[in-house]
Structure 1
Amino acid sequence: MTNSEPTASPVLEPTGDMVVEVRDVTAGYLPGVNILNSCSLTAREGELIGIIGPNGAGKSTLLKSIFGLVKVREGGIFLQGEEITNLKANKLVAKGVGFVPQTNNVFPSLSIQENLEMGVFQKPKDLKHRLEFVTEIFPDLKKRLGQRAGSLSGGERQMVAMSRALMMGPHVLLLDEPSAGLSPVRQDEAFLRVKEINRAGVTTIMVEQNARRCLQICDRGYVLDQGRDAYTGTGRDLLNDPKVIGLYLGTLGTDE
């Protein structure tokens, strides 16, 4: 990153390799109260995008806006050049968007296999080959498909949640805090799995509290502040930018 000053994101025209475009989006949960303020983001085919920032910056709200769970009041959201602003979540899933929320992301009373079957309910004929795909990425699940999801640890539940979101073969996967609440070892495993998913050809947009680790693995990063994309750049550039470190990363931005 050559310039540490906040940069305004330009309005972009759709391009052939553009998967997701968020253009100057203003959104919020309550009437008259905006969480996002002219926020913009782009993700191209095969990219791993990281979103970091202080608490309350609007990171999770941005993902939920893309997935139709938060009302967009101004601006637009595009998937492969098609506007999807405020489209319902079930229609977004059918169009190739997967979403893994931070909490309550499995059906605890169902088995692992039943959770995965729920992920492909719109295309039940695809169950067999999608199950093969996700168990290649998460081999630990293959021998435990009959186990009840409610008996799993936090890290194991995260694996099931990500696997279920992949069952429909999404073009883009939205991950909200995949390492939240996990032990350091489980956090490392979660990041490795995210990287494997991305390498398998799934464009990935990840909100993450572990800013340093996020920037280490992502292609490009966005730093949100007060609902705006205050800084953008490659993961490595943001990780080493003195101003970003001082304002947002603290010691997390420096190598130990």
Structure 2
Amino acid sequence: MSSETAAAPTPASGDVVVDVKDLFAGYLPGINIINGANLVARKGELIGIIGPNGAGKSTLLKAIFGLVKVREGDITVNGESIVGLKADKLVQRGVAFVPQTNNVFPSLSIEENLQMGLYQNPKIYAERLEFVTGIFAELGKRLKQRAGSLSGGERQMVAMSRALMMDPSVLLLDEPSAGLSPVRQDDAFIRVSDINKAGVTTIMVEQNARRCLQICDRGYVLDQGRDAHQGTGRDLLNDPQVIGLYLGTLGADEGH
């Protein structure tokens, strides 16, 4: 199956939560890491972004969250451009971002970390705590525990929970399985799927390509800052070109 036949149909505009169009972005003047990338996430979708090292996967997420300068193109969330907005404004617009590392406040308790996620709207704490502990039940039993004493997988749960406290329109996850043991990796993917099934539109960058494509609704293969292939997760898993170029080296030992 070619990448053309694998491509998913263009979403109806009313369903679109995130729309990235012809994006060029980079860290240094005159050097773009993202070179004309496109991405669409519909309401309630789980979108996976895979590709080789250096393809610009994490940079694309950071560009959406305003951490990398956008030079050309546009990014809209719920139909409104968010290019140039600072992090606090993006959170107000419903964009939540969980970085790969340094994603909790280690000196604070789990409860205090969750409260930090709601500094813009503390009145909804009880309501949102009920939501996140419905997904991460064990956190609700350990709210007073210091985040710095948690394992890597547990910290990842706290980071995702904190991001969910503001009831975001879209959750951006950068390598949620990175650095975790195989068992914890599987747990991380299950949690991401649970978050999405709870109604949160999710865009996930992931190095474990096979596992990512197994759980996502649609996937994008980034190569040299461009979306080289797109389609449903199942189509990309079975696309000979994607298998030959990417899945042979990406997460091959994680395949089932």
Show the counterpart of 1:222. Answer: 220
2:112 is equivalent to residue 117 of structure 1 = no
CA deviation map 1:41-99 (0-9, x unaligned): 00001000000000000000000011111110000000111111121111010111110
Give distance in 1, aligned partners of 2:223 and 2:106: 35
Matching of residues 136-155 of structure 1 within 5 Å: 136-155=134-153
The percentage of counterpart residues that share the same residue type is 76
CA deviation map 1:161-207 (0-9, x unaligned): 00000000001000000000000110111001000100111000000
- Given candidates 140, 162, 165, the residue that maps to 1:164 is 162
Deviation of 1:5 after TM superposition, in Å, equals 6.3
1:16 partner SS? helix
> Is residue 217–residue 235 contact of structure 1 (8 Å, CA) maintained in 2?
yes
Show the counterpart of 1:60. Answer: 58
Matching of residues 45-124 of structure 1 within 5 Å: 45-124=43-122
> Is residue 11–residue 42 contact of structure 2 (8 Å, CA) maintained in 1?
no
Q: Structure 2 stretches of 5 or more lacking a match?
A: none
Structure 1: 4+ residue segments shifted above 6 A: 5-10
- Given candidates 198, 209, 212, the residue that maps to 1:211 is 209
Deviation of 1:3 after TM superposition, in Å, equals 2.2
Show the counterpart of 1:35. Answer: 33
> Is residue 14–residue 81 contact of structure 1 (8 Å, CA) maintained in 2?
no
- Given candidates 231, 247, 252, the residue that maps to 1:233 is 231
Matching of residues 166-205 of structure 1 within 5 Å: 166-205=164-203
CA deviation map 1:97-136 (0-9, x unaligned): 1100000000000000000000011000001110111011
Partner amino acid, structure 2, of 1:180: A
CA deviation map 1:17-47 (0-9, x unaligned): 1000000000000001100000000000100
Give distance in 2, aligned partners of 1:158 and 1:219: 22
Q: Which moved more, 1:84-93 or 1:163-172?
A: 84-93
Aligned length in residues: 254
1:132 partner SS? helix
Give distance in 1, aligned partners of 2:111 and 2:26: 35
Give distance in 1, aligned partners of 2:52 and 2:5: 15
Deviation of 1:7 after TM superposition, in Å, equals 10
Deviation of 1:4 after TM superposition, in Å, equals 3.4
1:113 partner SS? helix
Q: Structure 1 stretches of 5 or more lacking a match?
A: none
> Is residue 14–residue 80 contact of structure 1 (8 Å, CA) maintained in 2?
no
